[in-house]
Amino acid sequence: MRRRRAAVAAGFCASFLLGSVLNVLFAPGSEPPRPGQSPGPSPAPGPGRRGDRGELARQIRARYEEVQRYSRGGPAPGAGRPERRRLMDLAPGGPGLQRPRPPRARPLPDGAPGWPPAPGPGSPGLGPRLGCAALRNVTGAQYVGSGYTKAVYRVRLPGGAAVALKAVDFSGHDLGSCVREFGARRGCYRLAAHKLLKEMVLLERLRHPNVLQLYGYCYQDSEDIPDTLTTITELGAPVEMIQLLQTSWEDRFRICLSLGRLLHHLAHSPLGSVTLLDFRPRQFVLVDGELKVTDLDDARVEETPCASSADCILEFPARNFTLPCSAQGWCEGMNEKRNLYNAYRFFFTYLLPHSAPPSLRPLLDSVVNATGELTWGVDETLAQLEKVLHLYRSGQYLQNSTAGSRAEYQSLPERTIPQEDYRCWPSYHHGSCLLSVFNLAEAVDICESHAQCRAFVVTNQTTWTGRQLVFFKTGWSQVVPDPSKTTYVKASG
């Protein structure tokens, strides 16, 4: 398996290094065949073919039209005036652009749209974008993982920045099952690639601090498939729930707050209320401590149609919910509520309450219970999470803590204790007790609550909320100079 992944990664990079040098600023423009236009030749079906070309073409057109729906509409927040640019060739040895060459539109049989597809009249423009030229000399290619449709690689650009590359997985289940059914490799690639194109459009139109950034994309011939699509995105770390449970409450709360802000944005997006049909931790990544959604090919904007509330049953493994059917014939808030309950069962219930400051736990329990019962919507959920942030960042949660200390501490400016550590949980450092505090009084309270604590060292490092990081120590037998720290030792007596 490791050898196969290395070979795939090497072949992936080779396709960029050996391929033609392209500079793609926006999706190349090619239109679907006009009515009555000859669809052109199609790949011959393989021996294992069970479906027909008409069914494959129907599926491609359905995905094509879905992408076009998401491309049209008002521009996303912050987008400039939409533009449509063509695929251009970059001179191999020089900085100038040659005369633009129209992209090769390859129609599919039986009325399927051509490839590469047109971006649509509402495709938001944001530049400059990274294109194929940026991938000429990438280094350090690493296979990150793959899912049903896509494979993800990590590469380093010539300037040193690390980015993620996404492409259709030629060994993946999606492409493989299609080829087995229809025997049309190129047509099946285009069917799968429209999911990647849909994700690219949604990343652009749903721009938000908790949506992965799209840096660019590239159409380039690869293997026996012309015009394969690769997207270039921000690089994040996978969400590992076991590791998150071992981190500080402050960092876990940040993830839940990020998720609350994301769900609020999706519920009020420029496209309407967006639901994530595949809502699991693996669909998200962490970028500098912030949670961001990365996989949007299974997102849906349309609400569920209904004739009565019997058509509006929201089903989950543990329980179901019945939502009202509106007078307009749509299940009210189903997209929003699906996202919210998934946030509860995958994130909130595990990350929010455990090891939280005692005075904040009642409010956090309310958030968990209300999202678990769907008695709140995303607006109220986010409002309560923002309230928790305010109480925590301002120190107001300390009003019910112990007033005053049971011992006096002597200050030793510009001094630190290099050893005499002990472990506590949760800690920012696995080999020592490193916690964040709002002020000196909270540091004293924490030291007094730990039986082994005899001293603590205040650093000049802060967390994302502005709280200072403090090491708690079992003693102070060795104190050394350090201009960036202040040590406090428990007075004898």
Spell out a b/e string for 394-421, using b for 16 or more CB atoms within 10 Å of the CB, else e: eeebbeeeeeeeeeebeebeebbbeebb
Residues 163 and 234 sit within 8 Å (Cβ to Cβ): yes
Q: How far is CA 293 from CA 81, 125, 266, 284, 297, in A?
A: 26, 21, 11, 4, 11
Residues 30 and 115 sit within 8 Å (Cβ to Cβ): yes
Catalytic residue among 110, 278, 298, 421: 278
Residues 140 and 154 sit within 8 Å (Cβ to Cβ): yes
Main-chain dihedrals φ then ψ at residue 158, nearest 5 degrees: -55, -30
H or E stretch at 60: helix 53-71
Residues 6+ away with beta carbon under 8 Å from 99: none
CA separation for the pair 261, 478 (Å, rounded)? 46
SS3 for 251?
A: helix
* Cis, peptide link before residue 426, omega less than 30° from 0: yes
Q: Comparing C-alpha atoms, which of 169, 142, 168, 137 is closest to residue 155? A: 142
Q: What is the 3-state secondary structure (H, E, C) of 161-217?
A: CEEEEEEECCCCHHHHHHHHHHCCHHHHHHHHHHHHHHHHHHHHHCCCCCECCEEEE
Please indicate whether residue 278 is annotated as part of the active site: yes
Q: Comparing C-alpha atoms, which of 62, 60, 190, 68 is closest to residue 120? A: 68
CA separation for the pair 41, 416 (Å, rounded)? 76
Residues 6+ away with beta carbon under 8 Å from 64: 32, 112, 113, 117, 194
Residues 64 and 194 sit within 8 Å (Cβ to Cβ): yes
* Residues designated as active site: 278
